[in-house]
Amino acid sequence: MRLRARQFAEDAGPLAHPVRPSKYGSIDNLYTATVYEKGSELIRALTVFIGIDAFNKGMQIYFDEYDGTASTIEDFYSCFEKASGKDLSQFRRWYAQAGTPEVKIEESWDAANSTLTLNLSQKTPATPGQPTKEPVPIPLRTALLDGNGGHVSVEGWENGESVIVLEDEKMTVDLKVTGTSDKPLLSINRQFSAPVRIDRELSNEALLELAAAETDPFNIWDNFQTLARVEIFRLLDNPQSPPDEALVGALGDAVRANESDPAFAALLTALPDIGELFQHREPVDPAGLNDARKRLRKALGENLKADAERILAEPSPAPFEPNAEQAGIRALRSAMIGLTGALDTADASRKLKSLFDAAPNMTESLACLRTLVPFQTAERDEAIETFYETWKENPLVIDKWFAVQAGQGTADDARRLSQHPDFDLSNPNRVRSVAAAFSMTNLAAFHARDGEGHKVIGDIILEADKRNPALAARLLTSFEQWRKLEPVAKASAEKVLKQLQSQSLSKNASDILARALG
């Protein structure tokens, strides 16, 4: 989710840059989602491209030959070339080209010969300084599904799954199916085997069918994310229309069906972030998107209301253990706390305050506080004060206290927090807990039409730049999608950016500003 909300957005905006840029304005400005998140995804894609055995062998060669040295990408990949016997020069294009590749997939079924033909093509949109792109190797883990929870056999495949590598701009693949004359369902880019966008013309009904048949958790989640995104835009365009009952019911059923894997069930309740939605329409109205998203989330909360009450009535695991099993249970409980607040009923605030008071661990305490912040009630104010008084001697926890409020509050809340006695411009974590939480996760408030969100962050950036130029530059990246905004918010963002440009800012901040405005 973070990759698509942050890195895909970075790849599609004025700050797009390769994982390994050929030049830069300030080296401090390369602590980005592209360098870190996309860079790590390329390692995952490499394991799929050459196979896990060759990857492990290549890593051992790397440690043997380069441990303790300053090595390059070329050094690193030479080890995998030795291990796999493959020429990886084309794969290294991933490191030199900015932008997210888009893979278009068209299917045709030959029932007489039981053959599914896939026509695949790739393109990477132009980015600043790189108007044309070359094709990159895209390893797509693929399976054909029978619609009953199993895989269809394909000639030449083992265990009903294989990897299709799209290396050129276009490619045609014929998959000879055995054992059935019915058209199978295509499951592609399983486990997110490559950091790309997949473009398939599937109806909502086909996506629901595919989600029900899927055996890959990532693709189950991804199909529902696609459906939810389409529905949010429909609700945005039709404010009087109720949420799609079929989608809400299917999503609720999926959460219940996966309750034995509580971490995954919790993930299924999370709708697409506003930052991810930004990339699918222009101009975009963040406030309108947020309202539409809330309506769909409320409908999901109503569908899962009985389940939420049942799950939250059970005791949280005790004693507390920092293991994956308990973390999954806490994640599902936190998700149900969030859905309880999404109902926005008259007694929701009291229920959340009761859960906050009884919270046996920090995870649930913060989940309750996060859900309470949008409620303008006495219970909300009491929870905020109680949490602060309990943890005010622990700076790292108070960072979370700031971030929860900034991430769910208004521009007035962000300004109030920036004037709190415990807010310290010389403390990067404290500044990020307010400014970054507000501007990068609370986009509806940050890009509100009154311009107050832009102003408060502009003021913080101007002051932070005097103490920590790298931090100020990082905060400036929150404006990266300003050109996509609807006209009123767009004008507000541009005004603040130009006001900042008129100041004597650091090299770091000036570099980001020039690219954002350029």
CA distance 277 to 4: 10
pLDDT digit string, tens, across residues 190-208: 999 999 999 999 999 999 9
Among 25-29, 66-70, 259-263, 379-383, the range scoring the smallest mean pLDDT is 25-29
Q: What is Dmax (Cα atoms) for the chain?
A: 75
- pLDDT range class, residue 131, cuts 50, 70, 90: very high
Per-residue pLDDT, averaged over 40-48, amounts to 97
- pLDDT range class, residue 181, cuts 50, 70, 90: confident
Instruction: Indicate left, alpha or beta for 386 from its phi (over 0: left) and psi (-120 to 50: alpha).
Output: alpha
CA distance 17 to 35: 9
Per-residue pLDDT, averaged over 493-512, amounts to 96
pLDDT (0 to 100) of residue 518:
84
Q: Over 90: is that where the pLDDT of 33 sits?
A: yes
Task: Say how far residue 9 (Cα) sits from the centre of its chain.
Answer: 10
CATH of domain 392-518: 1.25.50.10
Pick 359 or 5 by higher pLDDT.
Answer: 359
pLDDT digit string, tens, across residues 305-362: 999 999 999 999 989 999 999 999 999 999 999 999 999 888 999 999 999 999 999 9
Environment class of 32 (CB within 10 Å of its CB; exposed 0-12, middle 13-18, buried 19+): buried
CB 288 within 8 A of CB 237: no
pLDDT (0 to 100) of residue 226:
96
Per-residue pLDDT, averaged over 139-148, amounts to 96
- Sorted by where each begins, the domain ranges of the chain are 2-96, 102-201, 392-518
CATH of domain 102-201: 2.60.40.1840
- pLDDT range class, residue 24, cuts 50, 70, 90: confident
pTM metric for this prediction: 0.94
* CATH domain 2-96 topology: Neutral Protease; domain 2 (1.10.390)
